[in-house]
Amino acid sequence: MSAAHSVARRPAGLGLATLLLSLWPLLAAAHPHGWVDVSVRVMTDEQGRAEALEQRWRLDPFYSQLLLEELRAAKGEASMEARLDRLGVEIRHNLAPKHYFTHVTRDGRPVALGEVDDITTLARDGRVELMFRLPLATPQPLDGAPMRYRIYDPTYYLEVVHEADNEIPRPDALRVAGADCTTRILAADPDPAKVAEAASLDRGEQAEEGLGRFFAETGEVQCSPR
């Protein structure tokens, strides 16, 4: 598999939704912004068609610390592992109506998504990680027209970016399993007016629904015919 990547951007101080705020009062009081580092593995079937996107999300250290402190302070005798499992169930419940912030297209047409039936949540190196398999409603051919996806919080409270080193997406931030494919990650190129709009939002303001799409990176996959 070969990969070509463009430079990712992470504007300081930007990012605007309510996923984590809806879960923990401490987050709601602090009203922070944050980001998620994501990596994606496109899973294929025996015909080489895309059938699911396996995703790993790593919440930024600040969000992670707040969540872990809340979990430790929660009443009861449940282990941290059990508490993380419950957190994963709540996150899945909150993300499901938003299709896990994931938008897939092929040949410019939207691709319907299935339902996540399991999510793994753990704490590693001081960060909360979420791992889940998001199926496509119908397997998609990867030869011919490329398949593209974007993962973003609609209100841009949280910025979602691919795993990167020195602002360059890592080769393993987007992979394809079981097929000979070319991948690339395209940086967002928002209109200056949208950048100004996001920068002008106070910490207590709610951004318009859909603002996040202007700042979303695009993952692209195209495979050789079998």
Residue 15, pLDDT score? 28
Q: Please state the pTM of the whole predicted model.
A: 0.83
- 170 pLDDT above the threshold of 90: yes
Residue 205, pLDDT score? 60
pLDDT tens by residue, 69-102: 999 998 899 999 999 999 999 999 999 999 999 9
Residue 208, pLDDT score? 66
Q: Where are the domains of the chain?
A: 2-223
- 199 pLDDT above the threshold of 50: yes
Decide if 101 contacts 157 (C-beta within 8 A). Answer: no
